[in-house]
Structure 1
Amino acid sequence: MNAISILHRDIKPGNILLDLDFTAKLADFGLSRIFASKNDTTLVTTAIGTVGYIDPECMKNGDVKFQRKSDVYSFGIVLLEIACRKTREEVLERYRSKAEPRMVEAADEKLNGAFDETQMERVIVLGLKCSDPQGKQRPFMLDAMKFLEDGIELPAISEIQ
Structure 2
Amino acid sequence: MTKGSLDKFIRNQESQGTNCRLEWSTLFQIAVGIARGLEYLHQGCSTRIGHFDIKPHNILHDEDLLPKISDFGLAKLCQTKQSVISMLGARGTAGYIAPEVFSKTFGQVSHKSDVYSYGMMVLEMTGGRDQKLGVVETSENYFPHWIYEHLEHGKDVKLHSIVTSREEEETVRKMILVGLWCIQINPSNRPTMTNVVEMLEGSLECFQITRKPFLFSPARSDPSTQDASKSL
Instruction: Tell me which interval the TM-score lies in, with the shorter structure as reference length.
Output: 0.7 to 0.9
Q: Quick check: 2:180–2:210 contact (8 Å CA) kept in 1? A: no
Q: How many residues align?
A: 154
Q: Quick check: 1:103–1:125 contact (8 Å CA) kept in 2? A: no
Q: Which string of whole-angstrom CA distances, capped at 9 and with x for unpartnered residues, describes residues 121-157 of structure 1? A: 1100001110112111110011101211344877611
Q: TM-score, normalising length from structure 2? A: 0.58
Are 1:148 and 2:190 matched, yes or no? no
Which stretch of structure 1 is more off in the superposition, 95-104 or 76-85?
95-104
Q: Secondary structure at the match of 1:74?
A: helix
Match for residue 175 of structure 2? 123
Looking at secondary structure, tell me which structure has more strand per residue.
1
Aligned CA distance change for structure 1 residues 93 and 100 (closer, same or farther; 3 Å): same
* CA distance, structure 1, for counterparts of residue 124 and residue 169 of structure 2: 17
Match for residue 6 of structure 2? none
* CA distance, structure 2, for counterparts of residue 42 and residue 4 of structure 1: 14
Rg (Cα) greater in structure? 2
Q: Which amino acid aligns with 1:59?
A: F
List aligned pairs for 1:52-131, cutoff 5 A: 52-60=95-103, 65-86=108-129, 89-96=142-149, 100-102=153-155, 104-105=157-158, 107=159, 109=160, 111-114=161-164, 116-131=168-183
Aligned CA distance change for structure 1 residues 94 and 126 (closer, same or farther; 3 Å): closer
Q: Quick check: 2:61–2:68 contact (8 Å CA) kept in 1? A: yes
Deviation at 1:68, TM superposition (A): 1.1
Q: Sequence identity, in percent?
A: 31
Are 1:25 and 2:68 matched, yes or no? yes
Match for residue 189 of structure 2? 137
* CA distance, structure 2, for counterparts of residue 131 and residue 117 of structure 1: 21
Root-mean-square deviation over aligned CA pairs: 2.9
